[in-house]
């Protein structure tokens, strides 16, 4: 004989919890604080969207960047590594003649100049938080120098990893490398639009 299934237990009776009423004054204070916070946020956003008299507004758009050498001829493209520790090409190589000028890709502050692995490196911290590094460079600037987009950082040095002479340009957002070529006006990803 099979056991008879037990009847489901009746749910425990719900015990009403006493309702705590908040004084109306506290509710009005919270509503007023919320309205004030929203108004301040909107005013701040509107002010940030308006350029100042000096022409400084939001962080530079990607088109505010320029190649560190002229003319920009891509010798080797950016190859993102599958994982941060894996192999990849964390920048672009641009053909350049030995001794040619290397310029700042955007406004910023020089944060580093010196040799890395036997090559001269210059790093610029930009107002949008990105860091551009160029190599091999014989620096004409020192750490702490403010630079404008297109201002000379130095000249193309010897070394590097190109078959000919080139400048390697790497860009970091935090600890993540991004494709510098995509920061140039008209050089980013191609977007196909429907034909009408």
The count of C-alpha atoms lying within 13 angstroms of the C-alpha of 104, restricted to the half-sphere facing its C-beta, is: 28
Q: Any bridge partners for residue 176, and if so which?
A: 173
Q: What is the mean pLDDT of residues 110-120?
A: 94
Residue 1 binned pLDDT confidence (cut-offs 50, 70, 90): low
* pLDDT score of 65: 94
Highest mean pLDDT among 3-17, 52-66, 85-99, 133-147: 133-147
Q: List the 137-139 sheet strands across, edge first.
A: 101-103, 152-156, 137-139
Residue 105 · residue 70 · CB < 8 Å: no
Residue 156 · residue 98 · CB < 8 Å: yes
Tell me the pLDDT tens digit for each residue of 125-148: 999 999 999 999 999 999 999 999
Structure tokens at 168: 């390697």
pTM here?
Answer: 0.64
Q: Detail the DSSP E strand segments found in 44-105.
A: 74-76, 92-95, 101-103
Q: Tell me the percentage of the chain whose pLDDT exceeds 90.
A: 48
Whether the per-residue pLDDT at 30 is higher than 60: the answer is no
Whether the per-residue pLDDT at 168 is higher than 60: the answer is yes
Average pLDDT, the chain: 77
Within 8 A by CB and 6+ apart from 45, the residues are none
């Amino acid at each position: 004989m099979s056991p008879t299934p037990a009847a489901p237990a009746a749910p425990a009776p719900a015990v009403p919890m006493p309702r705590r009423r908040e004084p109306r004054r506290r509710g009005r204070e919270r509503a007023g604080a919320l309205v004030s916070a929203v108004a301040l946020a909107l005013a701040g956003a509107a002010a940030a969207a308006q350029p100042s008299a000096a022409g400084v507004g939001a962080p530079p758009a990607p088109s505010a960047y320029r190649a560190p050498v002229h003319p920009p001829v891509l010798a080797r493209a950016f190859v993102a590594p599958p994982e941060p520790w894996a192999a990849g090409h964390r920048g672009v190589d641009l053909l350049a003649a030995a001794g040619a000028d290397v310029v700042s890709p955007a406004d910023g502050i020089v944060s580093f100049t010196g040799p890395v692995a036997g090559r001269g490196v210059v790093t610029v911290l930009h107002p949008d938080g990105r860091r551009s590094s160029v190599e091999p460079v014989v620096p004409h600037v020192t750490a702490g120098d403010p630079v404008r987009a297109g201002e000379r950082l130095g000249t193309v040095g010897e070394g590097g990893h190109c078959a000919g002479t080139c400048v390697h340009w790497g860009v970091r957002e935090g600890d993540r490398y991004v494709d510098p070529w995509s920061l140039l006006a008209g050089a980013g990803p191609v977007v196909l639009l429907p034909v009408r």
